[in-house]
Chains A and B, each alone.
Chain A
């Protein structure tokens, strides 16, 4: 089904790339970052255009369809079964819209960042942002393993430069660590991809999945150390490093703390989701038996991550590091939900990916705004900020509560559904849910602690008495985040509707594997 008509997915994918090339041909007018308005607004314009295109995609998306939509398939290397193959289904549609949403927010929040003005090279900065958006959208839409791997690795390069050039003091260390960690994981996935492709004679994911379901393609499974399990681990380790699942998380605090604000927002908002998305997209349908067999183990790591992340967050004195560790905890929930291997768990996990993107992305924006004013990330340096910046304090409260999982806001919905799924799961069960719930309580502890230390009480530091009020650009991005937070919190139905039938389909296909492995 090689078609030549251009589908909407191709438009969404290439808009940022076109934007990047146009940027490269624009003239940088001013020196030291002032007067580069044309570059900033071009980048912003293209990210908004991409966002609108993703919204159109969501609006025309047919939620009843279980298969791929907006398909684009062209030959790439026909002789070994590699094609340029894009498609969108219920698993990816929300994440594509999330990417579309986060990017303009991140770009707008960079306009006033000091560090970018100091280091200069603004054109390069925004070009990397758009390149990153291109690669991330590619990961979510690629339906060919070769293509998926390409986009997966290409996300590394712009992020590496974003951290490395515009990061904080130890940026080089953090950038190199980020690159090597992620590459070490993904390169093993490359071998697994090649093995799968050689066995299947094609790299097209839907074809491979169809082959597995029809029994035409079998990866032998005879326990947690068999061919299928090794392939599963090849994929899982790559994804686990990206998520990151405890104990593979150590690159994350460094990357987050050193990255510029917008880099952290994208990292938390979208980049980490590539890992959890990959698990749902590839591990579950390609290696069903291995997934079921390994599920309790991975879920245990996830629960450890939930509690560990929360615990370590509480101990931080650096507010950005606190938020970074909270990511480890939150993504533990997502992984737990996925490995519940039932409808509620996976749907909750996908929604929680979006939620975490918004909430934690929002928290990083808050930290960034504080940093712009005070040039420190030390929690002790703040206190009583609400008195000085009342609007900021109020908006921050909503975002903090959302991250905590307050009912009525988005985080609650996701966590609740995940816990329900875990509780009713055939492979996990009561104890996993119990310990994960502990994580919800701990989240309230460290988040409230952070909020209290930074925003409440008296203004104890002289420097904090006169802080610049929020700029309209800052208010805009925060309000945009809060609108989504309230929307998901109060009316999550449209989000679940978009993924319902696809997730159902995935879970159904796992059915035989669950029966055969759990029963054994």
Chain B
């Protein structure tokens, strides 16, 4: 019945960056238990960075490869390679942020780093997944370690709450995803994205019950992925989880989980559903309208509620919802024929910019955090420009970048996202996007106001240890370089194509 595929057919080399990382994570777990004493966990961190570096190098070797692996379950293309770079750099910065933090919070255990690596490998598999089943498996691989990491700071109540909340809602989301996949399978008879694409046109033309199934299935999948990337109305968990989780974990999941989630989302809609319309002859895809609404709601809610926050971690949580809205705008743009590639490029550029900026901002927040997890209120930034001028300067740049002021990475990301939206003729959505970014300026500026314009005694910023500083320097350099020389980033993404050749 089944023909057993030969080993060569699997094309293992194409998924090597992710595979290396998964294997490295397993090894690290063993090495940590067997060889590394409890007081030398820094070594584990360095080994984790080593694994990330190896994966990064492998990714460089496979950078220009394209093709499919594991019999079509995974694909490798430019999109995957660039997304891998974003994920690996974010993992690198997050590990640097963690080293001293776990010591200060007295949660220094070796598993911490292995869990991060497992989650990273889940993200990397997810950005290359090309089948509903492989998307689901990667999604779980991404999520489960994050549930544990969010609750890593036991017995701190907020951390426990964070992990528990994230776990329960995440499990729900996964269930939605699985159920949606089942319905899509029921409608099309396939789980592979390219195969689904081939049967969509027939289903739309047919106009029968399969169309309803497909609509329901796609909707449930959107709900599942929407939870992961935290878009409105599936965002409720974000502030509590972000606030309670250990700060480096928050930083990591605010970026990494988004990369994975959005990559899967855009691949799903651009590869499998670009021709999915309600009735034959419609020019606007069903999901573009849904994404339009989701993006608009996310932008408005995220930005307006962030204004009211007084804790910087919570503020960044709402800001991350808002930024998910901007990315969602690009994903919605992918629904217009001919814009999918530009939208995928914009998504990656935005994620790259957001990765540097947001990790940097969390790095600074972590620097002023006290050992017991307090001290991250916005008031704690007062006087930082006097007590820690360099840290304040970098935070100011991160805030300007999140606002989208030129010469920072954030502006480049916004430029391409808005360009994609206009390319797709989503003008009202683009207008909502720019107007809400004025709102965002208000709460980002408040941090700058507190650091520079208000008088007061600065915090000692006891968390600003050498490793943390290095992490922030890397993020700072990335933010500025991408802002001043955007061509370095666009060179990576220029050639990316994601849409099925049939609709391009």
**Residues of A bordering B, CB below 8 Å:** 75-80, 146, 149-151, 153-154, 156-157, 160-161, 164-165, 171-172, 175-176, 179-180, 183-184, 187-188, 190-191, 194-195, 197-198
Contacts and interface: CB of A to CB of B under 8 A. Distances in A.
B285 interface: no
Interface in B58-117: none
Contacts of A160: 445
Contacts of B403: 183
A154 B406 contact: yes
Contact of B431 (A80, A164, A191): A191
B54 interface: no
Interface string B452-463: 111000000000
B400 to A, nearest CB: 7
A194 B449 contact: no
Given A154-B407, A172-B453, A179 B441 contact: yes
Contacts of A188: 431, 434-435
Contacts of B287: none
Contact of A191 (B423, B434, B441, B494): B434
B297 interface: no
A164 to B, nearest CB: 4
B442 interface: yes
B419 interface: yes
B490 interface: yes
A150 B485 CA distance: 12
B434 A180 contact: no
Contact of A184 (B407, B423, B435, B490): B435
A154 B406 CA distance: 6
A80 B490 contact: yes
Given A150-B406, A175-B453, A187 B434 contact: yes
Given A164-B452, A165-B452, A191-B430, A157 B405 contact: yes
Contacts of B415: 146, 190, 194
Contact of A194 (B422, B437, B438): B422
Contact of B486 (A77, A157, A175): A77
Given A165-B452, A187-B438, A198 B490 contact: no
Contacts, number: 81
A75 B434 CA distance: 27
Contact of A198 (B407, B423, B445, B486): B423
Interface in B380-437: 400, 403, 405-407, 411, 415, 418-419, 422-423, 427, 430-431, 434-435, 437
A154 B480 CA distance: 14
B487 interface: yes
Contact of A77 (B405, B418, B434, B490): B490
Considering the complex of A and B, which 10 residue pairs feature the smallest CB-CB distances, nearest first?
Answer: A150-B406, A187-B434, A164-B453, A184-B438, A153-B406, A79-B494, A77-B487, A172-B453, A194-B422, A194-B419
A76 to B, nearest CB: 6
Contacts of B445: 160, 176, 179-180
Contacts of A156: 405
A302 B486 CA distance: 39
A161 B399 CA distance: 14
Nearest to B494: A79
Nearest to A119: B455
Given A165-B453, A172-B453, A187 B430 contact: no
Contact of B441 (A75, A151, A180): A180
A78 B490 CA distance: 10
B42 to A, nearest CB: 34
Contacts of B442: 176, 180
Given A156-B405, A194-B422, A198-B419, 17 more contacts: A150-B406, A151-B406, A153-B405, A154-B406, A164-B453, A171-B453, A176-B442, A179-B441, A183-B403, A183-B441, A187-B434, A187-B435, A187-B437, A188-B435, A190-B418, A191-B434, A195-B422
Contacts of A198: 419, 422-423
Nearest to B404: A187
B406 A149 contact: yes
A179 B405 CA distance: 11
Nearest to A152: B406
B435 A161 contact: no
A183 B438 contact: yes
A161 B452 contact: yes
A176 B406 contact: no
Contacts of A157: 400, 405
Contacts of A151: 406
Interface of B: 400, 403, 405-407, 411, 415, 418-419, 422-423, 427, 430-431, 434-435, 437-438, 441-442, 445, 449, 452-454, 486-487, 490-491, 494
B272 to A, nearest CB: 27
A153 B406 CA distance: 6
A78 B400 CA distance: 25
A150 B437 CA distance: 16
A77 B407 CA distance: 14
Nearest to B412: A77
Contacts of B431: 188, 191
Contacts of A164: 449, 452-453
B487 A76 contact: yes
Nearest to A199: B422
Given A184-B435, A184-B438, A194-B418, A150 B407 contact: yes
A150 B407 CA distance: 7
Nearest to B452: A165
A390 B449 CA distance: 42
5 contacts: A79-B487, A153-B406, A171-B453, A190-B434, A194-B430
A175 to B, nearest CB: 7
A172 B382 CA distance: 13
Contacts of A154: 405-407
Contacts of B453: 164-165, 171-172, 175
A27 to B, nearest CB: 14
Contacts of A161: 452
Contacts of B452: 161, 164-165
For B407, B418, B434, which residue has the most chain A Cβ atoms within 10 angstroms?
A: B434
A181 to B, nearest CB: 9
A144 to B, nearest CB: 13
A95 to B, nearest CB: 21
Nearest to B397: A157
Contacts of B494: 79
Nearest to B414: A190
A176 B434 contact: no
A160 B442 CA distance: 13
B409 to A, nearest CB: 13
Contacts of A180: 438, 441-442, 445
B497 to A, nearest CB: 14
Contacts of A191: 418, 422, 427, 430-431, 434
Nearest to B437: A187
Contacts of A77: 486-487, 490
A164 B396 CA distance: 14
Contacts of B406: 149-151, 153-154
Contacts of A194: 415, 418-419, 422, 430
Contacts of B491: 79
Nearest to B403: A183
A471 B460 CA distance: 42
For B427, B454, B487, which residue has the most chain A Cβ atoms within 10 angstroms?
A: B487
Contacts of B449: 164, 172, 175-176
A153 B435 CA distance: 15
Contacts of B405: 153-154, 156-157
Contacts of B490: 77, 79-80
A208 B258 CA distance: 38
Contacts of A195: 422
A171 B455 CA distance: 12
Contacts of B486: 76-77
A195 B420 CA distance: 10
Nearest to B406: A150
Contacts of A175: 449, 453
